[in-house]
Amino acid sequence: MRVPRRTYEGAFHHAMNRGHDGLPIFRTGADKRVFLELLEKNMILTKIRVLAYCIMDTHYHLVIQNGSGQMPRFFKQLNGQYALHYRKVHGGRGYVFQNRYQTMLIQDDAYLMLAIAYVLNNPVKVQLASLFSDYPWSSGSEYFRGKASEIVDAEFVEGLFGSGKELAAFVRSRVQLELPTIRSEMGRVIGDQGFIPQARRLTDRRSGRESMERRRMRDKYFDPQEKVLSEFEQINRRKVSEIDVHSFTGKRLRSELLVLLKEKAGLTYREISKVDLFADLEFSSLGGIYRRGRRRMPTG
């Protein structure tokens, strides 16, 4: 019996699938272009966010966010439609893909960055490109180019890394990276054991197995935004609206507040960008501000 994929709305995943018996299934540039067209079509239909992709001759890698909860439908259509194309063009019988797609839940932004680097480095590892951004069948060249990508949410990824220079340095320094994965009842997870209870609660909530009491506990996982702002103002003895972001102290306080809104209130970068204190910032700069603020703040 097939085991259902463990996911939930908003979950990040690293996903891949390979050709049956490891054979090439993306034989030509035309094949790869068809796959990208199908990828774009199905991500729009199912409202799945694509953050990174890489198409090799024998397999593909994706980093996605299951924002709509339709990940199974997305992969069923993507793989099925490409298999029809492949058999029509190249002939043959039987399966095109080795098996069902493989996915791994990703714990948080830090692990998400590692997963993106891993995907972009695939052609570099096998010497198909000297720089990840030179490979034509990945999203490596679609970030920090000053215009929107048709497939990947480049703005989101730019927010994680802060600048093109930081992205390039991060990816280059992890060419030999093996993803830090653990095995659990959730399947393989990119993260650590501390993530498993949270992931279990979220997937149980999605499947309807979670009790009302546990749902209430999940709703309390993050503090309300208003509470985080109020506590921040009390600790620092000033209103958020009074912070002078042109001063060194003001910039430090703004970065600390960003960390609190992200970690204690659970806000996304897009939601944080709507808070008045951050309204004048480029969306892509929030990831860098978060990382700098996190390094200055105590852990625990």
pLDDT in tens, 1-37: 454 568 888 899 999 999 998 899 999 999 999 999 9
Express each pLDDT in 201-254 by its tens digit: 877 655 554 444 444 443 445 778 888 899 999 999 999 999 998 898 999 999
pLDDT for residue 210: 42
Mean pLDDT of the chain: 87
Comparing C-alpha atoms, which of 287, 218, 224 is closest to residue 258? 287
pLDDT for residue 140: 97
Domain 11-199 in CATH: superfamily? Transposase IS200-like (3.30.70.1290)
Burial class of residue 180 in the structure, from the number of CB atoms within 10 Å of its CB (0-12 exposed, 13-18 middle, 19+ buried) = middle
Residues whose CB falls within 8 Å of the CB of residue 282, separated by 6 or more in sequence, listed in order: none
- For the chain, helix (H) and strand (E) counts, in that order, are 12, 6
Left if phi > 0, otherwise alpha if psi is -120 to 50, otherwise beta: which for 187? left
- CA atoms of 158 and 134, how far apart (whole Å): 18
Enumerate the CATH 3.30.70.1290 domain ranges in the chain, comma separated: 11-199
Is the pLDDT assigned to residue 67 strictly greater than 90? Answer: no
